[in-house]
Amino acid sequence: MKIIDLRERALRHWVRCEKCGLPLEKSRFKLHLGVCPSCGHYHRLTPQERVDYLFDPRSFHLEAFSPLWKEPMLASKEEAMKESIHQQKEAMVWGRGEIESQACVAVIMDFTAYGGSLGAAVGELFYRACDLCLKSGNPLLIVTASGGARVQEGTLALLQMAKTMVGMTLLKEAGIPSISLLCDPTCGGVTASFATAADFILAEPGALICFSGPRVVEQTTGVQLPADFSRAEKLYERGLVDCVVPRIRQRPVIGELLAFLRGKEVEGIDSEGKRGEEMARLYARDKPIFTQ
Ligand SMILES: [Zn+2]
């Protein structure tokens, strides 16, 4: 009994690094923003943890979620019951808040809910967030963590790629800027739609950002892929990602970007070749890939 108590207590107060196995006190883990101080591994965070370190204290207001979608493919009452338990938890939360005193609307994906998949409810939430940006004139911050489209919703899930892109297009037409922060993992339909359609695309170090995962590509092509395949740093080299930003720098960097965008017409920033120039000018004092 005592051994069980000790084990429970240990589980309550300690976590273990997923990569190197280092045991860490939860409070210390939180202090390091979920980054292992020994091996530098970036652990996945919940939306609440993202809000805690990205936004100014007590500035973030979560928009209410109402169950928007009844699963069309459920075959039995049992499945419907199981689904109803999760209906308050969707793979995306949205709200408004301030980062370094700069107001923005934010959508934050939750990988612990349905693998962060893009389903009809997520598409609707994203569109509502875009609508709030249009009404308030505030920029949009997108924080992704997704396995792709929600396969159990079939074609309806794929349609969400088009729906979210309509939202992004409306923002662009209205001159409202958007910033995307790609976190591990960002895959499939999310990568192929709104995640990479923002004006500025930031990424966390080591994040997997792809359409199909390396294992699937290896199985399909029979080619051994390098370890950095589709990782944030590689995609920065190839031009998909504008900036690889460590967690500890994300709040000041996004705050500075929001302040910059507020004081400037956004037209032209997203046109060919301009985006990189603007980023280089903004961060001339730093390397585009920051070190911790
Ligand atoms: Zn570690």
Which has the higher per-residue pLDDT, 2 or 180? Answer: 180
pLDDT attached to residue 94: 92
Q: What are phi and psi of 212, to 5 degrees?
A: -115, 140
Residue 5 binned pLDDT confidence (cut-offs 50, 70, 90): confident
Residue 8 binned pLDDT confidence (cut-offs 50, 70, 90): confident
Domains of the chain: 1-43 (no CATH), 44-282 (3.90.226.10)
Distance 53 CA to ligand 1 centre (A): 20
Residue 287 binned pLDDT confidence (cut-offs 50, 70, 90): very low
Query: Is pLDDT above 70 for 217?
Result: yes
Both tokens assigned to 115: 């693998």
Distance 43 CA to ligand 1 centre (A): 9
Enter the pTM of the model. Answer: 0.83
Distance 63 CA to ligand 1 centre (A): 35
Distance 16 CA to ligand 1 centre (A): 8
pLDDT attached to residue 266: 46
Mean pLDDT computed over 223-227: 90
Distance 40 CA to ligand 1 centre (A): 6
Residue 87 binned pLDDT confidence (cut-offs 50, 70, 90): low
Q: Which residues surround ligand 1, an ion (CB under 5 A)?
A: 17, 19-20, 22, 36, 38-39, 41
| Residue for token pair 């699963």 | 71
Query: Is pLDDT above 80 for 81?
Result: no
Both tokens assigned to 220: 């399909």
Distance 14 CA to ligand 1 centre (A): 14
Which has the higher per-residue pLDDT, 121 or 283? Answer: 121
Mean pLDDT computed over 268-284: 50
Lowest model confidence (mean pLDDT) among 6-10, 124-128, 225-229, 288-292:
288-292
pLDDT attached to residue 82: 53
pLDDT in tens, 257-275: 999 888 754 444 444 445 5
pLDDT attached to residue 279: 55
pLDDT attached to residue 284: 45
Average pLDDT across the chain, whole number: 85
Residue 237: which residues within 8 A CB-CB, separation 6 or more? none
Residue by residue, DSSP assigns the chain as -HHHHHHHHHHHHEEE-TTT--EEEHHHHHHTTTB-TTT--B----HHHHHHHHSPTT--EEPP-------TT--SHHHHHHHHHTTT--SEEEEEEEETTEEEEEEEE-TTTGGG-B-HHHHHHHHHHHHHHHHH---EEEEEEE-SB-GGGTHHHHHHHHHHHHHHHHHHHHT--EEEEEEEEE-HHHHTTGGGSSSEEEE-TT-BB-SS-HHHHHHHH--PPPTTTTBHHHHHHHTS-SEE--HHHHHHHHHHHHHHHHTS--TTTTSTTHHHHHHHHHTTTS-SB---
Both tokens assigned to 233: 């740093």
* Burial state string for 34-56 with b = 16 or more CB within 10 A and e = fewer than 16: bbbeeeebbbbbbbeebbeebbe
pLDDT in tens, 198-213: 999 999 999 999 999 9
Residue 80 binned pLDDT confidence (cut-offs 50, 70, 90): low
Residue 182: which residues within 8 A CB-CB, separation 6 or more? 144, 191, 195, 196, 201, 202, 203, 204, 207, 209, 232, 241
Residue 244 binned pLDDT confidence (cut-offs 50, 70, 90): very high
* CA gap 86, 89 in Å, rounded: 5
Residue 277: which residues within 8 A CB-CB, separation 6 or more? none
Distance 203 CA to ligand 1 centre (A): 20
Distance 34 CA to ligand 1 centre (A): 10
Mean pLDDT computed over 182-190: 96
Give ∠ CA 192-197-199 in degrees, rounded to 5: 160
